[in-house]
């Protein structure tokens, strides 16, 4: 943590302990579903005790008032697809991060990334894979939860599970053994065993790769057989957990959907038929628009000056099909591929690709809270946990305002107040 941030954090923590009742007075309140004017929000300890007109708040004088002039108060953002242990691929490519950066170095980076996320208004996130760092993500979660370092509430997937031979790093001859970005399995029994191992080691959910590139520069193909996916999902759900699937091909998506996963990550090759199946089965899509956008720019695409690359054009088409189908959209950008703390990129692209700003904000708050199993979050509502942010202006009129986070409260503690 930056020394100035640490001093501010300690000061605000002490202040919160003295004044546990806080009254937030913004220009407007987005409650997770709709926008309200002439609302205030009262917080007692770590709970919202009132959200509505000031005149309906009893004992208003007992609260310490914080005026947020010109701002919109809203639930903290809930990031649906992050990798706290990764950093942008234009700094260090993925292979070298897995092969050359130790879990200790990556844990330290993760601490920095967690703080950046929190200060950018992300008060909760689902992290989908340690990418070769074992259970470092689980221990990072523990450090955040115990108050050792500042960061969002998290759900951690642990190492993730891949089909044997499908994942990397690759490119070495068969006598060279390298660490892999996820755990390889083959067959129902081994797949079920690995799910149980990961849950036993503290994973909050299971991530599987339903398709991937079998060879360099090859298009993605399905990986697991249907019976393997079915077995992994059954094993996780029996333990009260759930499974998500990296899937970008129609067949990989179809197998994952039929197997009972709760979300499809990426979904680049989704068709109208596949999205209709997702809607029927209640499976949500996390499109990770910002990751593809960043990777194409790393390759040299001059966004705004050159035509869309094929990957971007296809992504826009599949996202439009998803919106048309009515499938639920999870806000999640695959942050780590791009800079932590710039989660707003995904919201901006969701709107740019055809989503209404209000829908995008709902996705990042109340919808994600429900789909990702973050209890008592995602709404500005009496009784909910006090994870609250404020941004300049009105993000429903201009989604880019989500970049300007001026106030951050998590669990009733103020971390940022500019």
pLDDT on residue 216: 83
Domain boundaries, the chain: 3-75+378-417, 77-371
Q: Would you tell me how many other CB atoms lie within 10 Å of the CB of residue 20? A: 13
The per-residue pLDDT for range 331-380, each reduced to its tens digit, is: 999 999 999 999 999 999 999 999 999 999 999 999 999 999 999 999 99
The per-residue pLDDT for range 131-157, each reduced to its tens digit, is: 999 999 999 999 999 999 999 999 999
Rounded Cα distance, 29 and 37, in Å: 6
**Where residue 18 falls among pLDDT bands split at 50, 70, 90?**
very low
Is the Cβ–Cβ distance between 290 and 346 less than 8 Å?
yes
Q: Would you tell me how many other CB atoms lie within 10 Å of the CB of residue 165? A: 12
Rounded Cα distance, 265 and 332, in Å: 9
**Where residue 3 falls among pLDDT bands split at 50, 70, 90?**
low
Choose among 369, 337, 255: nearest CA to 84: 337
Pairing of strands 40-44, 35-37: unpaired
pLDDT on residue 59: 87
CATH of domain 77-371: 3.20.20.140
What is the CATH class of 3-75+378-417? mainly beta
Q: Does residue 169 have a cis peptide bond before it, meaning omega lies within 30 degrees of 0?
A: yes
Choose among 87, 115, 113, 90: nearest CA to 101: 87
pLDDT on residue 17: 46
Rounded Cα distance, 340 and 344, in Å: 10
């Amino acid at each position: 943590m930056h020394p100035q941030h640490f001093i501010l954090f300690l000061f605000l923590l002490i202040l919160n302990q003295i004044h546990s009742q806080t009254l937030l007075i913004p220009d407007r309140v987005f409650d997770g579903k709709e926008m309200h004017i002439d609302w205030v929000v009262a917080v007692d300890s770590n709970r919202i005790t009132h959200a509505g007109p000031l005149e309906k708040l009893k004992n208003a004088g007992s609260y310490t008032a914080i005026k947020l002039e010109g701002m919109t108060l809203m639930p903290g953002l809930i990031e649906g697809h992050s990798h706290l242990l990764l950093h942008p691929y234009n700094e260090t490519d993925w292979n070298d991060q897995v092969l050359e950066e130790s879990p200790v170095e990556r844990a330290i980076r993760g601490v920095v990334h967690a703080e950046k996320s929190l200060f950018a208004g992300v008060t909760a996130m689902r992290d989908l894979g340690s990418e070769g760092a074992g259970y470092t993500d689980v221990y990072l979660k523990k450090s955040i939860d115990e108050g050792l370092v500042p960061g969002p509430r998290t759900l951690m997937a642990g190492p993730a599970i891949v089909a044997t031979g499908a994942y990397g790093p690759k490119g070495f001859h068969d006598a060279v053994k390298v660490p892999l970005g996820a755990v390889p399995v083959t067959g129902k029994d081994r797949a079920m065993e690995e799910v149980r191992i990961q849950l036993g080691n503290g994973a909050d959910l299971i991530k599987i790769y339903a398709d991937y590139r079998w060879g360099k520069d090859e298009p993605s193909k399905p990986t697991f057989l249907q019976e393997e996916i079915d077995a992994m999902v059954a094993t996780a759900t029996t333990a009260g957990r759930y499974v998500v699937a990296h899937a970008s091909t129609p067949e990989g998506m179809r197998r994952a959907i039929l197997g009972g996963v709760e979300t499809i990550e990426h979904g680049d090759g989704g068709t109208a038929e596949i999205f209709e199946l997702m809607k029927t089965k209640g499976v949500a899509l996390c499109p990770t628009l910002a990751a593809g956008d960043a990777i194409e720019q790393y390759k040299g695409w001059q966004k705004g000056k050159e035509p869309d690359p094929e990957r971007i054009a296809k992504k826009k088409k599949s996202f439009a099909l998803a919106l048309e189908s009515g499938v639920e959209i999870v806000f999640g950008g695959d942050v780590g591929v791009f800079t932590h703390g710039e989660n707003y990129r995904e919201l901006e692209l969701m709107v740019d690709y055809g989503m209404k700003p209000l829908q995008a904000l709902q996705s990042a708050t109340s919808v994600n809270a429900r789909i990702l199993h973050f209890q008592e979050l995602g709404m500005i509502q009496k009784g909910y946990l006090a994870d609250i942010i404020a941004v300049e202006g009105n993000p429903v009129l201009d989604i880019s305002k989500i970049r300007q986070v001026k106030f951050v409260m998590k669990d009733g503690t103020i971390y940022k107040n500019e």
